Structure 1
């Protein structure tokens, strides 16, 4: 079984990807930014961008039949690693009790210069 989930994002059709893909009990969520209705949310605020991106990820997981508690890995891409505590704090608010494996790395740029954070997630549905 393969299920694709779309969030209706502007780039999904143009680039040819899905917000999330579920195969069996595994869900992969694509790199997610704080873009809502084509507009970047939380410009100059990596904590807010993290909060918005994780909300989008949560909705994609739910559409795939998963929960945040099913997340086993996140990958966080930031454009300024010096601001990692702001990003990490929000990640911890969401995943503190779940404690997935996580990686945070600095990248030279994201697709839009206003993006400060992009997050991927993987989940394994156990119930």
Structure 2
């Protein structure tokens, strides 16, 4: 039997424009899309701060996981994309605050830029619900 597909929106105005969901659950698997540090007001949270932006990305991703029936403890993989990989420790600090006891696989990569030049980091998460 095929599992139902559940989509989760964060309310981002980019979702309908681009045609994507913040998260998708299919069976026990939840994938959270590249998550940028956008505040409820639509502005970048923590301009210039990789740490603050990473915390915001994690907040958004965690809320999406919860809407899909998952928690951070279900996360098996994270991807941290930075415009300046030399600042990985700042993102790593925020990541470690959430995942030190969970220990998902994790990849840090440098990208040339994001849609908004003020964004310094984006995150993706994959979870498998037990």
Partner residue of 2:84? Answer: 80
What are the ranges of 5 or more consecutive residues in structure 1 without an aligned counterpart?
Answer: none
CA positional deviation for 1:112:
0.4
Moved over 6 A (4+): none
CA positional deviation for 1:92:
0.5
CA RMSD of aligned residues (A): 0.5
- Is 2:100 the partner of 1:117? no
CA positional deviation for 1:38:
1.4
Q: Which range moves more in the overlay, 22-31 or 33-42?
A: 33-42
| Matched pairs, number | 126
What are the ranges of 5 or more consecutive residues in structure 2 without an aligned counterpart?
Answer: none
The residue matched to 1:35 in structure 2 has which SS?
Answer: coil
TM-score of the superposed pair, with normalisation by structure 2? 0.96
The residue matched to 1:40 in structure 2 has which SS?
Answer: coil
Distance, in Å, in 2 between the alignment partners of 1:13 and 1:95 is 31
- CA deviation digits over 1:2-25, x for unaligned, max 9? 000001001000000000000001
Distance, in Å, in 2 between the alignment partners of 1:40 and 1:13 is 20
